Amino acid sequence: MYRQILRTARNRQDVLNGRREWFEFKNATGDRAEISIYSEIGFFGITADDFVSELRGVTASAIDLHINSPGGDVFDGIAIYNALSQHSAAVNVTVDGIAASIASVIAMAGDTVTMTRGSMVMIHEPFALVVGDSRDMRKTAEALDKMGDSIAEIYAARAGKKPEDWRAVMAEETWYTAQEAVDAGLADVVATAAAVKNTFDLSIFRNGPREIATAVAPAGADNAWRQEARLKMVAAMEEMANAKAC
C-alpha cells in the first residue's frame, strides 16, 4: 500500500541514481567546521545517528551549518536539533535555499540564523503514513499531536509567542520569505547572497510556491518517474529493515 502513497520532495535525479547521503561535514577538527544539509533528512538508511556520530567528532569552536532541505523524518530532525543545541561550538545557520518542515526546526538550533536572498522557511503540522486498524490510527493521531506540541515549543523558544500560536501557524502550512522569516523571529538577518536554485519537488506540499514546484515537477510528465522513485525508495527502506533485522 505504501508504494502508492509514499511522498518525497527529493531531487528526482538523486532518487533515480540511488543517491542516499543528505549531509556533509568539512573541517571538523579545524577552527571553523562546515556542515551542509542538502536533501531530505533521515531516509535511505542514513539516519540521525550517523549525523550525531560525526557531530561528536567536531572540535571546532564554531560551526557554519548550511541548510537547503525540504524536511524529512521528524524524530531524526529533532535529534539533530538537540545535538546541535547541546554542542559546545557556536552554531551559525544559513538557509541557502529552503528550510522546510523539520529542516526549519533544525535551523532553530542556530545561535544565529541567516537567510540568503530569495530563500524560504516553511512550517507545518507533522504528518505520517500509517497502515492499520482504528486503534493504530488513533495512536498515530495522538503521537502526531505530541510531536506538533514539541515542535511548536521549539519555534516559541526562539521566536517568542506561545506554542499554541505556533500550532495555529503550523496548521496552515505557512511559507515565509527571507524577510518574513526575520520579521517572525525565525531568523536574524537577510544576507546579500542569493539563494541556490531549487531542485526539490515542492508540489507535495499543500501551499508550496506553485511557480517553483511546477518548474521542478511539470504537470503530466511526472507519473513515470514518481513510480520509479517510489519503488527505489521502498527498496532502500526494505534493505535498511533487513539490515536491522540481522
Q: Is 87 a catalytic residue?
A: no
Cβ-based neighbours of 104, under 8 Å, separated by 6 or more: 71, 121, 122, 123, 186
Which cell is 231 given?
A: 519503488
Distances (CA, A) of 45 to 22, 73, 177, 234, 236: 11, 12, 32, 11, 7
CA dihedral 14, 19, 25, 27 (to 10 degrees): -90
Query: Which residue is catalytic, options 36, 39, 69, 124?
Result: 124
**How far is 237 from 243, CA to CA, in rounded Å?**
10
What is the tally of helices (H) and strands (E) in the chain? Answer: 10, 8
Q: Which amino acid is at 233?
A: M
Element (H, E) at 35: strand 32-37
**How far is 36 from 109, CA to CA, in rounded Å?**
14
**How far is 105 from 170, CA to CA, in rounded Å?**
12
Element (H, E) at 212: helix 210-216
Query: Which residue is catalytic, options 69, 101, 104, 119?
Result: 101
The DSSP bridge partners found for residue 34 are: 26, 64
Q: Is 66 a catalytic residue?
A: no
- The set of catalytic residues is 101, 124
